[in-house]
Amino acid sequence: MGLINLLSGNRSENLFLPAHGRGDSLPENLRKLLKLRPGIWDLPELFEIGGPLIAEGAIAESQKSSAYEVGVDRCWYGVNGATGLLQSSLLALAKPGQAVLMPRNIHKSCIQACLFGGLTPLLFDVPFLSDRGHSFTFDRKWLQRVFNKAKEFEEDIAAVVLVNPTYQGYSADIESLIKEIHSHSLPVLVDEAHGAYLISRIREDLPKSALFFGADLVVHSLHKSAPGLVQSAVLWSQGEMVDPFRIERSIELLQTSSPSALLLASCESSIKELIETKGKKKLISRIEQAEDVSKFLLSNEVPLLKNSDPLRIILHTSKFGLSGIEVDKKFIKKGIIGELAEPGTLTFCLGFSSHKGLGKRFVRIWNEILKSSFAHQKLCSFTRPPFSIVSKPFMPCASSWGSTFEKVSLKDSIGRISAEMVCPYPPGIPLLIPGEILDEERVDWLREQRSLWPDQISDFVRVIF
């Protein structure tokens, strides 16, 4: 089947990203635009339109207005997802040779920025929930311990990155973490790819965006957590710690020279949807609907895990001895497509569209899966990753990645240095990065991970020759 046919067909229940649900909840003005003569909107940086880095024009005005509405100093729209803007942020924050403190559940894009920016990732461990195999949030005390340990590396630390909320929708007390980082006079970049909707501040009981607690840089993926088109994203900046000129230089380094006006218009409209009354009302109602779905599932004994994002439903498959990856395939066969299949869970993203009748259908499919899979109520336990509280690659990331390499089987890789990143996607969290040493413990753990993610982790690893 050709790609065009694939894109135009199939009306399954979309519980995956982008969050606009195949157009169902795109902002109204964008839907109108897309209904005009096909292609009329496909424009580059024309004079009146401008671009994210051009001081004059509609995009400059729009970025100014979005920043003002949200209450920060500046923002830049992006057309290469949160990936592109996280990478530009890192290049703006740290110079070649400097280190950046980042959690082990960092998205791979940040490690890639370290590769091409000549930065040292100082990776710190995060709490691990062994009943489901997820990284979890940490508190200020944990971060203080990280800082104490990081000092021993005697690196020139330029900045700290936080990931909040996580892909599954767990959220930390971000205010106290930002305070701790600022007490070390360091800037903080928050990867809020999954939390754009938090700028809406629609309910007191929901987490708040790091923007409201003085984070220096915050990146939102507007297709993951707002109703934007795929690839749309925004970088917000505030305060004096990061020079906007450095940010713009870094965006210029990575951005296409022909950013799509359609994607930039989608950035504008999805942000507006989050801050204007009509969009906020819609979001409140979607969240209430999603909460009703969760309540219904729980009351029908579907094993859901708690998180802080009502629009993300985590099915705890390993509670019944089932892999989320296998359960995902069964849901797909029955017409429900989830977002994040992992060994212990399957996360569904309800996004911004309505899902009438989902609860009953979900319960029926889950019960069929249970019946047909020899499921047993046995809580699997996942091995905690063998990470030290803080670690630094044995060799620089960039030179390791660029080295001559050979492919060896995982079991024969003990004592070798990795020339690649091992990273199931999604969620895109690296289990091994270039320059790290494969000691026995890591190899055992990676082999175990391979058995849990058979299609995503190879039996081979590329190591420095």
167 binds ligand PLP (CB under 6 A): yes
Within 75-94, the residues that bind ligand PLP by CB under 6 A are: 81-83, 86
135 binds ligand PLP (CB under 6 A): no
Helical (H) or strand (E) element with 87: helix 81-93
Rounded Cα distance, 17 and 419, in Å:
31
Please pick, from the candidates 50, 428, 430, 435, the single residue that binds ligand PLP as defined by CB under 6 A: 428
Q: What stretch of H or E contains 217?
A: strand 217-221
Q: Which is nearest to 264 in space by CA: 110, 42, 427, 443?
A: 42
Question: Which two three-digit tokens encode residue 10?
Answer: 């199939």
**Under rule CB under 6 A, residue 338 binds ligand PLP:** no
d(CA 271, CA 234): 9
Rounded Cα distance between 71 and 84, Å, is 23
Q: Closer to ligand PLP at the Cβ: 86 or 461?
A: 86
Taking alpha carbons only, the member of 340, 347, 345 closest to residue 379 is 345
Under the binding rule (CB under 6 A), the answer on residue 137 touching ligand PLP is: no
Q: Note whether 265 binds ligand PLP by CB under 6 A.
A: no
Closer to ligand PLP at the Cβ: 25 or 413? Answer: 25
Binding of ligand PLP by 207 (CB under 6 A) = no
The type of residue at 306 is: K
Stretch that binds ligand PLP, among 41-49, 191-199, 326-334, 414-422 (CB under 6 A): 191-199
Q: Which is nearer to ligand PLP, 267 or 315 (CB)?
A: 267
CB of 115 to ligand PLP, least distance (A): 16
Q: Is 254 in the site for ligand PLP (CB under 6 A)?
A: no
Distances (CA, A) of 59 to 48, 208, 261, 282, 423: 9, 27, 9, 26, 35
Nearest alpha-carbon partner for 133 in 353, 347, 368, 380: 380
Instruction: Tell me which of 426, 437, 439, 458 binds ligand PLP, using CB under 6 A.
Output: 426
Residue 404 · residue 464 · CB < 8 Å:
yes
Per rule CB under 6 A, is residue 217 in the interface with ligand PLP? no
What DSSP designation does 232 have? -
Ordered alpha helix ranges (H), 234-379: 244-254, 261-275, 277-299, 324-333, 358-372
**Does the footprint of ligand PLP cover residue 227 (CB under 6 A)?**
no
122 is a site residue for ligand PLP (CB under 6 A): no
Q: Please give the span between the terminal C-alpha atoms of the chain, in angstroms, as a whole number.
A: 42
Among 115, 177, 196, 233, binds ligand PLP (CB under 6 A): 233
Q: Considering the complex, what minimum distance in angstroms separates the CB of residue 85 from ligand PLP?
A: 8
Maximum pairwise Cα distance, the chain: 63
Ramachandran class of 335: left when φ > 0, alpha when ψ lies in -120 to 50, beta otherwise: left
163 vs 464, beta carbon nearer ligand PLP: 163
Is 191 among the residues that bind ligand PLP (CB under 6 A)? yes
Cα 410 to chain centroid distance, Å, stands at 28
Is residue 193 a contact residue for ligand PLP (CB under 6 A)? yes
Nearest distance, CB of residue 80 and ligand PLP, angstroms: 7
The least CB distance from residue 167 to ligand PLP, in Å, is: 5
Minimum distance, C-beta of residue 413 to ligand PLP, in the bound complex (Å): 27
Q: Which two tokens stand for residue 107?
A: 């998205």
| Closest approach of ligand PLP to the CB of residue 88, in Å | 12
Q: Is residue 163 part of the contact set for ligand PLP (CB under 6 A)?
A: yes
**What's the closest the beta carbon of residue 342 comes to ligand PLP, in angstroms?**
13
Let me know: does 224 contact 85? Beta carbons within 8 Å.
Answer: no
Give Cα 41 to chain centroid, integer Å.
28
63 contributes a contact to ligand PLP by CB under 6 A: no
Q: How many residues bind ligand PLP (CB under 6 A)?
A: 17
> Which residue's CB atom is positioned nearest to ligand PLP?
81
Shortest distance, position 11 Cβ to ligand PLP, whole Å: 24
Residue 187 vs 427, nearer CB to ligand PLP: 427
Of the candidate residues 62, 109, 250, 255, the single one contacting ligand PLP (CB under 6 A): 109
- Please give the backbone phi and psi of residue 7, each rounded to the nearest 5 degrees, phi first: -70, -30
Q: Minimum CB separation from ligand PLP for residue 448, in Å?
A: 23
Side chain identity at 229, as an amino acid letter?
Answer: L
Q: Would you say 127 or 426 has its CB closer to ligand PLP?
A: 426
**Residue 27 found at the interface with ligand PLP (CB under 6 A):** no
Give the orientation angle of helix 81-93 with respect to helix 108-117, to 10 degrees: 40
| Element housing 102 (H / E) | strand 99-103
Query: Should residue 107 be labelled a site residue for ligand PLP when binding is judged by CB under 6 A?
Result: yes
Q: Is residue 224 within 8 Å of 64, Cβ to Cβ? A: no
Q: Rounded distance, CA 264 to CA 79, Å?
A: 7
Residue 423 engages ligand PLP in binding (rule: CB under 6 A) = no
Does residue 221 interact with ligand PLP by CB under 6 A?
yes
Note the residues at the interface with ligand PLP (CB under 6 A).
81-83, 86, 107, 109, 163, 167, 191, 193-194, 221, 224, 233, 426-428
